[in-house]
Amino acid sequence: MTDLSTIAELLREHDGFEILTHRYPDGDTLGSAYALCHILQGMGKNARVITSGTPAKKYDYLREGLAEQDFVREYVVSVDVAAPELLGDNQQEYQDIIDLCIDHHGTNSMKAKHIYVDAAAAAAGEIIYEIAQCMQIEYTAGIADCIYTAISTDTGCFRYSNTTGRTHRIAAHMMEHTSNWFDINTQMFEIKTKDRLSLERMVYETLEYCCDGKCAIIHTTLEMQQKAGVTDDEMEGLASIPRRIEGVLLGLTAREKADGTFKVSARSNGDIDASAFCAKFGGGGHKAASGCTVTGDLESVKAQLVRAAEQIL
Amino acid sequence: MTDLSTIAELLREHDGFEILTHRYPDGDTLGSAYALCHILQGMGKNARVITSGTPAKKYDYLREGLAEQDFVREYVVSVDVAAPELLGDNQQEYQDIIDLCIDHHGTNSMKAKHIYVDAAAAAAGEIIYEIAQCMQIEYTAGIADCIYTAISTDTGCFRYSNTTGRTHRIAAHMMEHTSNWFDINTQMFEIKTKDRLSLERMVYETLEYCCDGKCAIIHTTLEMQQKAGVTDDEMEGLASIPRRIEGVLLGLTAREKADGTFKVSARSNGDIDASAFCAKFGGGGHKAASGCTVTGDLESVKAQLVRAAEQIL
């Protein structure tokens, strides 16, 4: 593994940068990639971001102030990409030519000339910040917006357990260089589309409890999704709804898929092991968040989930 | 106005402290009061918190580790109380005998021997932290839990526009002294009671748009509130629902009151002035958040709101 001062050296020495994000790009991979692009262009270098898939429109501000430069690629950097397959459409072209891989996933399995993984970083954006510090970069609002976005989105606005004192101190520093952080938080955490809200209304109607209220189950069907006009991209985050209910130890979300199965997300509180629950259906994951696939029609799937929940709780 | 080192002196000199909170006590007034109580007891002093009204059970942890001491009151401190009437049930007994008033509301109108108001502080808890720093207190987990709670709750977990770099730096420091901050965030921001969720389900069903989707209106009736089994305490926060919808500039929440009127909360985005909207009904407030009372049955109230919204938008 390389270190921060070597990275600073590599970035100073090279030019013609292409910076890669992971597929289904989120605030951390985009914020980190665009922050690095702002930094490099600010140093007078040629640099562009190559996203995997089109980012949601709400992230457009991350690109503000960047120039579209015409140049031949010389140096390839990946940020927040934990494994080659997460490069998505870019895997084929790029997986064997990455010069520098910057990531915060302890499980990183990328192939690259230089690899820097800091698993204690709440977001890849924290590492970009440390590189900027190491290079004594003068922060612009553009850089600060990108780094703030990266760390804020990957920590649920400083709420998740991956947040550290370092995360907060970086936020404090970035807030000295941008006044956009409040609008960023509003866009990232507050605003919901009308279609998404319409889906949530339907989802709330499906809420059922079992096991004396210790388990809550919600579901979505293809029909609901179609009626609300919600794309797969907008289906994220539903799984946290049942887990947030007072007294609920196991929250289950069953989502009907086009192949006739249901994708089940299990979220647990306290000592309950969601991965043990999912293992009953051949799935797995983490103790607090796991997933599995269950086959059958809606009623049969729910009956299977209730039976399994009764065994766990 | 006094200063931090005078406050440190006053706290060192005196004993027999009673610390007052504001009525309907929230995380900031309770966190600040209990933090100060932890600090004073840690200095070998007698101290107790006198809340105005019973705090919600979820705040019980703030008192953990405090001794119930038997002593005669000698020195009275109020924290996060902006005006005498906000002392609630304690107003009569205490309003004329407050020795030290610590607050972060620029509008503070308290009468006290010593007053310290820092309107730039996101939470009263930030001032308690600065007092602790000034006194070179050794932080315990109890103190850190209380200060973290105060600043986290008053900033919506570092999301609201009152958050500053100072807020983040204090959070970072407190996280060095407690591992409970994640559980605190979960309790304060994630968990909803089943009754509250049941009310929200009903509220989502009332959602209507007008003015080409630029205005969203929700309502609650006494019947809905009773059906869900929700107390007035649990009615908070509904007003932010319509404002969060993409494209909505004016979000209105009409809540039926026992006297036959509707209490209307207006929340706006962008340049829309919610207080100008509420002024049409004799109400007022801030540009982004205002309130008014509208008389009539539900249908007539909604018709009045739609007409007024059409004029504003």
CB A32 within 8 A of CB A79: yes
Question: Is residue A231 located within the same domain as residue A283?
Answer: yes
Q: In sequence order, what are the beta bridge partners of A253?
A: A218, A265
Model pLDDT, residue B259: 92
Nearest to A244 by CA among B199, B195, B228, B192: B192
| pLDDT at res. B234 | 78
d(CA A186, CA A184): 5
- Cα–Cα distance for residue pair A49/B202, rounded to 1 Å: 45
- % pLDDT > 90, chain B: 89
User: CB distance A192–B158 less than 8 Å?
Assistant: no
Identify which of B122, B129, B85, B87 has the alpha carbon closest to the alpha carbon of residue B105.
B122
The H or E element spanning position B252 is strand B250-256
Instruction: Please indicate, yes or no, whether residues B163 and B201 belong to a single structural domain of this protein.
Output: no
**Contact between A151 and A184 (Cβ < 8 Å):** no
How near does any CA of chain A get to the CA of B103, in Å? 23
Asked if the Cβ–Cβ distance from A169 to B172 is below 8 Å, we say yes
Domain of residue B266, residue span: 194-312
Residues A158, A239 share a domain: no
| Number of cross-chain residue pairs from A and B with Cβ atoms under 8 Å apart | 102
| Angle, alpha carbons B138-B144-B149 (nearest 5°) | 155
> Which residues of B fall within a CB distance of 8 Å from A190?
240, 243-244
Same domain, B10 and B143: yes
Final residue belonging to a domain, choices B146, B161, B189:
B189
Residues of B with CB under 8 A from a CB of A: 157-161, 163-169, 171-173, 175-176, 182, 185, 189-194, 197, 200-201, 204-205, 207, 209, 213, 240, 243-247
How does residue A284 score in pLDDT terms, banded at 50, 70 and 90?
A: confident
Phi first, then psi: give them for residue A11, nearest 5 degrees: -70, -35
* Same domain assignment for residues B185 and B199: no
- Are B34 and B162 in the same domain? yes
Q: Which residue in B159, B172, B209 is closest to A185 by CB distance? A: B159
Chain B CB contacts of A207 under 8 Å are: 197, 201
Give how far B182 is from chain A: nearest CA, Å: 6
pLDDT tens sequence across A119-161: 999 999 999 999 999 999 999 999 999 999 999 999 999 999 8
Query: Residue B241's closest chain A neighbor by CA?
Result: A190
Are B163 and B233 members of one domain? no
Cβ-proximal residues to B261 (8 Å cutoff; 6+ apart), any chain? B293, B294, B295
Å between A152 CA and nearest CA of chain B = 9
B235 and B202 co-located in one domain:
yes
The verdict on a CB contact (< 8 Å) between A194 and B165 is no
Residues 6+ apart with CB under 8 A from A165: B171, B172, B173, B175, B176
CATH number at residue B234: 3.10.310.30
Of A163, A168, A191, the CB nearest to B169: A168
Question: Cβ–Cβ of A159/B247 closer than 8 Å?
Answer: no
Residue at a domain's end among B189, B207, B241: B189
Any idea what DSSP says for residue B281?
A: T
Note whether A168 contacts B172, CB cutoff 8 Å. yes
ipTM over 0.85: yes
Shortest Cα distance, chain B CAs vs residue A149, angstroms:
12
Residues B179 and B253 in one domain: no
The answer on A144 and A35 residing in a single domain is: yes
Q: Does residue A203 share a domain with residue A104?
A: no
- Say whether A201 and B197 touch across the interface (CB within 8 A): no
**Pairwise CB contact (< 8 Å): B175 & A164:** yes
Q: Which residues of A touch B246 (CB under 8 A)?
A: 191-194
Nearest CA in chain B to A270: B183
Assess whether pLDDT exceeds 90 at residue B256: yes
* Residue pair A34/A144 in contact by the 8 Å Cβ criterion: no
Q: What is the pLDDT of residue A236?
A: 80
Q: Which pLDDT score, from 0 to 100, does residue B18 have?
A: 98
Mean pLDDT of A76-105: 97
Place B235 in a pLDDT band, splitting at 50, 70 and 90: confident
Per-residue pLDDT at A50 exceeds 80: yes
B84 and B122 assigned to the same domain: yes
Q: How far apart are CA B310 and CA B286, in angstroms?
A: 20
pTM for the full predicted model: 0.89
* Pairwise CB contact (< 8 Å): B159 & A201: no
Subunit contact A193:B246, Cβ cutoff 8 A: yes
Distance from CA of B15 to the nearest CA of A (A): 34
Boundary residue ending a domain (A144, A173, A189): A189
Instruction: Name the domain count of chain B.
Output: 2
Name the DSSP letter for residue A189.
I
Percent of chain A with pLDDT over 90: 89
Give the CATH number of the domain where residue A114 resides.
Answer: 3.90.1640.10
State chain B's mean pLDDT as an integer.
95
Provide, as residue numbers in chain A, all residues whose Cβ is less than 8 Å from the Cβ of B185.
Answer: 159
